[in-house]
Amino acid sequence: MAILDIMTFPDPFLRLKAKQVTKFDAELQTLIENMFETMRAAPGVGLAAPQIGESLRLVVVEYTEDEDENAKPKKYVLINPEIVKRSEETVTDLEGCLSLPGLVGSVERHQSVTVKAKNRFGKPLKIEAEEWLARIFQHEIDHLDGVLYIDRAEEVFEPTPEEAEQIKD
């Protein structure tokens, strides 16, 4: 496996709309594993293919909602994801991004979302996500459309150490 370079703002590639994934082959499986390794090394909880220079509608997420630091995180692979349902209730919280190092922003997102996608083998899946996981999905799916959190942020700033720790959780 390999750790890939993460593109950073203002690279124009981050503003392009990604293409649908059509081939679920060994090359895709390798890319998925490399994305997980890159995300962990960064470190982050989500990574979209455009962030590593691939115009593919592919997102990887590794996240645990459990407060126990020994809890095993759940891995998500979303291919050609689409948000099909959004709660009316929204929540504003801090977000960071591997493509915008050293900055955070206060972003309003839907409290819960339902995402339809394909898994890494091309099988359909549907995930109902709430709170932080819903925020991660919305953030990563935005990347597939060339949207960055700074486009939605009420304010963007350099975080204090406490704020930086908050967005890692």
- The catalytic site residues sit at 140
Rounded Cα distance between 131 and 148, Å, is 19
Token pair for residue 75? 């891995």
Token pair for residue 141? 């799916």
- Count the alpha carbons within 13 Å of 117 in the hemisphere toward its beta carbon: 24
Closest by Cα among 84, 108, 103, 80 to 17: 80
Contacts of 151 (CB under 8 A, 6+ apart): 142
